[in-house]
Chains A and B, each alone.
Chain A
């Protein structure tokens, strides 16, 4: 029974698999039976013993078997009730064969009954008593019939005596057998429960051990961090005290001795000043380290041309290099460096640190800077011809307050934090910094910065955590509307109008600044002139959609045309995205609802596109005219189209001019115009606002459709809401 090994793992299974009925050993049974047979056969054949006495003994032995087994502590030899009954049945048969028929019945009736009686399984006392009484009645009946007349009462007495003996022996045996079975079941159940519990405990212990290990690990780590912090603090304290001592000493000296030479005074003041700057430099650097470490540095991530950063840094350190007679050279690949995404000031700080170190530790020769794009990152290397770095110092130099040449007299001064700061900055940018050096042959400090691969999401910032401004935006009481329009007057007019209605407005004249404002202020709605997206029509749009925070920002597309001769005109009745498809085309026409059945005029420079549109419209029963940009006005006047499709990619400002002319001409001003654009208006958060097609005056209610949309998206203005 090595259950320990068998079910060491799975608990639920163990509950069943654990139950193994402890069967009575067949060998012991066999032995007992043989013994009995030998004993009985001897008596049977010789006729020596009285069958009565012999069977009394055998019966007693059989019935007391279980008790005896328990008494000698061999519980695994216990017999189940039915086994015992079979034993007794065998004895009964043998007894019958030996000629003691009546006595066999007399002796076996009762135990036989209560062994095979209905109460056998449950071992209920009531059943037992019932069997007992039945047995008595049976015995009386048998004895009465057999020995009527001769010693009847003596036989009855004898029977009762026998019965009492057997009952006395049998009762506890039977009860015990039930008890034993229950005990055995219990044992089995408790064994399997024990194993299940044991397994559960084992598992729990393992889990606890794992948790404990993790905690120990975390504790160790925290302890290390704590030790590092303490070390840092003590180093900072040491580093601060040194310049402070100088400042204090020299100041007191000057206060103590009033008769100092002017030269000495100047020398001391110079030292005080120098040490003060050292102190403030140190404090700044310490704060930098602390901020970088806690991740609380404000970063302004923009596209950075590292070439420019390198050149600027070189310029600022030129005098220092020149003083030592060192030459700095920067080799840049032709066509400039690929842009990286980063904080320009921080990257400049790294560059200045590295150059500063290179100059400090180089006494002759020069400093060479190389930079090149490699796969997904930019590699910058600053090589000097200084004394080099011991191999064992290569990692240590990036540690706080580690100074190369600690054992070299007259070591250069610095905060001892430059490389630490540089390392942290580079790592925050997702890059790597290291040094390659050979003693006596100079060192090369290298770092990498990931390239800007068009992703506008800040790579190392928690994306789910909204910046403070967004949280602030949630609390602000007024809605923000970002107005993006190239035309200054249009933009101002719109903003003024919206401000009047109680909105906060932001203005941007190009996609780039618009994008920054959108990121920063998280406006509720963007109103954008379709052509204010800049050279790349879709830059603003894509830029907004790429960032998770602004991806769902609603954009209202408008087409305002400001013409000095005719005032502000809102001129477009719909938009069509390229490539034009039949469904969108029909829908746009339906929305623009031309008043009559005149031809539809297509003004496009793309002849193929114009032909396609003509075909599409032709199959729908429309007549179509086509015109070039230059002859568009003429054609419209002549043909009086019911609708005009205008290509927005006409060269320069010509579509605006065309539109302005169409709108200022009484003959064409009432014709609806649909603008064909590169911009996708399929985006479900983009809505092209269809505006009126009447000649527009600045204060007319024609702005209403736009305002209606804004109200829908950004709520009513604060003035109205209040």
Chain B
């Protein structure tokens, strides 16, 4: 079976300041919010003073037109919903969607009623439009206004196939997020994970992919062989993961376009814990030889692996620093799992975790400033430390939270939570304060999330 995800760079067009809204005025009917918010179970502390209140009315259209993804009126409403869900999930905004604010006319998009919005305790306003183009694509306009100062802060237009309307919404949310926080964007990105079903002793574990908000979900493997620990390549063209396809654990590269896969390294020894280098040229993996596990590096194209660690015991789970010069990994050479850093060639191995308990599954932030980990001390908790092991912060407090993965901007962490007893799993997201934790909606149970970079 062939699975394919098309990732084409989104065309960003500059919208002229003298942009004329045209003639037709499309009034968007207020309707009940769509079941589009993929993040639920919010424990956000909405009372924080740092949270920005921002209104996101439905996006009007200059002229209602049908597209394969629905009419431009419908798309305008759904784009607004996705922007609202994105901003809310970041924990930094209190977005007011089209169920909470009045509809706007197409004319208003570039001439916002600022005094009206100012009177409603808004700090910012997102307006935009959806317009059908003669070539079958749509343009999604996205404008950000500072309501208090009465100024326009950003404007972008995104030309996409109608089916890619969600990506245009994510790009708009990314633009707003970046402009208002000064951080890099992250909404327009994808996640590979393991979809789980079945009883605890015979779990079916399938490789699956989805957008960062849980949309556009797709199963990749059929579950006949247990799949674990997937990682998207930096260009999203491949997924490296572990499969029991030939009876014992072995790592494979799945090619997203062709649907074909190959073993990374043919050996009778088990290989597991695969990770990409930041440039996508290399794969780190662990291999057990007669009970002794070490970390190896191999070209993504194949060839002979290079052994990077040789301590007796279990060395496992490397993660590159963003510049590729260092690798953080875990080892039990001291007697229990702890976190170590080494140079990319394996030299200068140094332990950096010294707190109580065991430290596992280190993942270097794409920003380079922090390392996320699982602390095992009876319970499993997700936390962060600096690359030198300092400033340890625990972000979650549940029975078993495991395997952090970073948002592409290094400001959020996803992980999976296992329920005591039942073994049921779910994917969660937490910010770096630990105050804002939410469950990601998945069709079935989910584990081993892996967040890819921002799409082009």
- The answer to whether A and B belong to the same complex is no
